[in-house]
Amino acid sequence: MPKEKQNGDASKPSLSLKYILTFLSLAITVLVYYFWAFPYRAALSYREQFQLFLTTGSYFTDLASRPGGIAIYIGEFLTQFFNNFWIGAAVMTGLMLLFIWFCYLLINKFAPVLPRFSKFTLSLIPFISVWLLYGNPDVTLCFLTALLIAITVAYVSLSSNSDKLTVAERYLKMAALTTLVYWLTGHATIVFTLLIIGYLCKSHNISIVHKFFFALLSLVWLAANICIWSYTLPYPLSYQLIGIGYLMTPDTLCVVIIVVELLTVFIPYIATLLSQRPLKAVAPTLLVIELIAIVILFPKAYDKTTYRLIDYDYLVRANNWNGIIKASDKHTPDLPLTVSTTNLALGMTDQLDSRTFDYYQNGVEGLLPPFAKEPLSSWTTGEIFFQLGMINSAQRFYFEGMEAIPNYNKSSRAIKRMAETAMIRGEYALAEKYLHLLENTLFYKKWAQRNLELIKTANGVESHPLYGSLRNRMVDEDYLFSEGELDKTLGQLFLKDPGNNLAKQYLIVYPLLQRNLNKFGQYMGVVTESLPQYNPLLAQQAVAFISMKNGQPVPTNIVPPMVEQSLRSFAQAWTSKNPELIAPHRRTLYYYLLSNE
């Protein structure tokens, strides 16, 4: 912490106070790092996949030519490190600690005589608000970068003998710095402006008239900067007032961002008031209030449903199929994305044809969701198509998902997958286009260079363990299909390659999710022609159900006694119409076929 003036405990804090502050600082550091490295690491991946940071000069000049572009560039540069959650967590921790530090420095500048512990607890208020703000996954790192630049310039400006300037020099300096900060940060300049105005207004050596005109002209000059830039940029004025690049949804006003900015500005003012009327218990009271605020506001800021979807998306991107199943065993997947993701994970681990109804199902959309103009659902569906071998559809869904990104960014995740689909399809010119883009990134460069060499190698793609396998799975015709007839496409995929286990499982489960037992019988016949020994649990249950429904004996050569017994147990519970007896059978094929849930 910075050295302070001799007053109270400010200059030489007691040894016990030093230990307390050191302990609190270390505790916050460890807590923040753990937070981003473990329970909320998926939020880092979520933000990284919605940008494509290029290391080219043209990318820098394009961003630097707009207000706030430097903050966007720095924010995106740092966001690319979220590709590795260990480094990404360190980046987030470093930025958040830096924010606490500069808030402390500003408080110390406004109220140097305030006790050190009080300054520290006051600096935690804006920090907590930023932590809660980033519970909104649409808030980018560009906002925190812009805010840090604004308060850094404000602190440096206030620490550079500004009290000795003449009136004219003070006006010129404020005008120049406002223009500079607006170019660097955009909307966050209001924080810089209000901090400078507030510091000047607390001075007793400047007349009220000068204070009034300084504040008025500073705000007018800031408004002039906004208006001037609005004539030269392809953005509406509202975007500049909200903050360009602060949100993935650029036309949305985030009230919490305004709250964070106001707290950053007014906490130093509050510190000034507290220094005039010192209260002994202010620091402990503030700590208690802050802890209560975290307990109350954290569940609202980090909504469980939203972050569960983000967690599933992260696991899909990492192809962590066992992780998805583990998450679904812990939390019932009851949203379209979580259902389709769980079914994909079951299929990839050869469990779909035995465990489908261990989980909630919402019909065939739980296997192959329809197109939705939204990145996460589009990419999840694209991943299903990719793993099935429907490469044309995978390419389309990843592309459409990228085009649906609200702030019109490109996506590192989507471009990487589209490069792969182009290679599998043999469209090497298109693949090179995508790979050359990724070649200008930090984390995807080596991957792109390896694949550029791969497509230049004779039979390189065909011999690749993944790409070659998926090329062999592709149906020969390049066609558009009806979403209502996806089962026919699944059939073609299986007939093309009976070793395509995912297509086989999807083909069998598809009619069961439609509650169409006749179609199931037809598809099961097609599969057993190629694979006579194939007799999964769901097939056994379906055959037993059909036999009992038709009043025929259950074929013992297909259905083992345990399955027959489970069906009879369900039948007794169902006919009793007793909810308590039926409840244990709710996650079974039998219940799904007879209920409307």
Q: Is the pLDDT of residue 114 over 80?
A: yes
User: What pLDDT sits at residue 17?
Assistant: 82
pLDDT given for residue 378 in this prediction: 96
pLDDT above 50 for 7: no
Q: Residues 288, 120: contact at Cβ < 8 Å?
A: no
What number is the average pLDDT over the span 88-109? 97
Instruction: Report the pLDDT averaged over residues 194-209.
Output: 87
Q: Is 541 within 8 Å of 589 (Cβ atoms)?
A: yes
Confidence tier at 183 by pLDDT (50, 70, 90): very high
Q: Judge whether 46 and 413 are in contact, CB under 8 Å.
A: no
Is the pLDDT at 377 greater than 70? The verdict is: yes
Spatial neighbors of 177 by CB under 8 A, at least 6 apart, are: 153, 157, 192, 196
| Residues listed for the chain | 597
Average pLDDT of the segment spanning 210-237: 87
Domain ranges of the chain: 15-303, 306-473, 541-597
pLDDT at res. 440: 98
| SS3 assignment, position 217 | helix
**Do 383 and 394 touch, CB atoms closer than 8 A?**
yes
Name the pLDDT band for 3 (thresholds 50, 70, 90): very low
How far from chain centre, in Å, is Cα 447? 23
Phi, psi dihedrals of residue 464, rounded to the nearest 5°? -70, 135
Q: What is the four-CA torsion angle of 376, 379, 381, 382, rounded to 10 degrees?
A: 170
Averaged pLDDT of the chain: 92
- What is the reported pLDDT for 9? 44
Confidence of residue 18 (pLDDT cuts 50, 70, 90): confident
**Bridge partners (DSSP) listed for residue 247:** 139
Cα separation, 523 vs 509, in Å, equals 10
Q: How does pLDDT run across 248-262, given as a tens digit for each residue?
A: 998 888 999 999 999
Cross-strand bridge partners of residue 139: 247
Q: Which of 193, 281, 182 is nearest to 233 (CA)?
A: 182
* Cβ-based neighbour number of residue 465 at 10 Å: 7
Per-residue pLDDT of 398-455, as tens digits, reads 999 999 999 999 999 999 999 999 999 999 999 999 999 999 999 999 999 999 999 9
Q: What angle do CA 483, 472, 49 make, to 5 degrees?
A: 60
Confidence (pLDDT) at 60:
97
In 331-374, alpha helices (H): 336-348, 352-355
pLDDT number for residue 13? 58
What is each CA distance from 508 to 13, 42, 352, 414, 488, in whole angstroms? 73, 33, 9, 30, 12
Mean pLDDT, residues 60-81: 95
The predicted model scores a pTM of: 0.92
Query: Span 306-473: which CATH code?
Result: 1.25.40
DSSP alpha helix (H) spans, 389-444:
391-403, 412-425, 428-439
- What is the pLDDT, as a whole number, of residue 486? 87
Average pLDDT of the segment spanning 506-519: 96
pLDDT of residue 4: 45
Q: What is the pLDDT of residues 128-181, one digit of tens each?
A: 999 999 999 999 999 999 999 999 999 999 987 766 778 888 899 999 999 999
* pLDDT at residue 275 greater than cutoff 90: no
Q: What is the pLDDT of residue 11?
A: 44
Per-residue pLDDT reduced to its tens digit, 571-582: 999 999 999 999
pLDDT value of residue 1: 46
The distance of Cα 513 from the centroid of its chain, to the nearest Å, equals 31
Q: How far apart are CA 63 and CA 245, in angstroms?
A: 10
- The predicted model gives 273-299 an average pLDDT of 86
Would you state the structure tokens that stand for residue 173, as one six-digit string? 């300096």
At residue 482 the predicted structure's pLDDT band, cuts being 50, 70 and 90, is low
**Cα torsion at 196, 198, 199, 204 (round to 10°)?**
140
Residues with Cβ within 8 Å of 415's Cβ and at least 6 positions away in sequence, in order, are 52, 402, 434, 437, 438
Phi–psi pair at 247, nearest 5 degrees = -125, 150
Q: How far is CA 171 from CA 215, 223, 226, 241, in A?
A: 10, 15, 18, 24
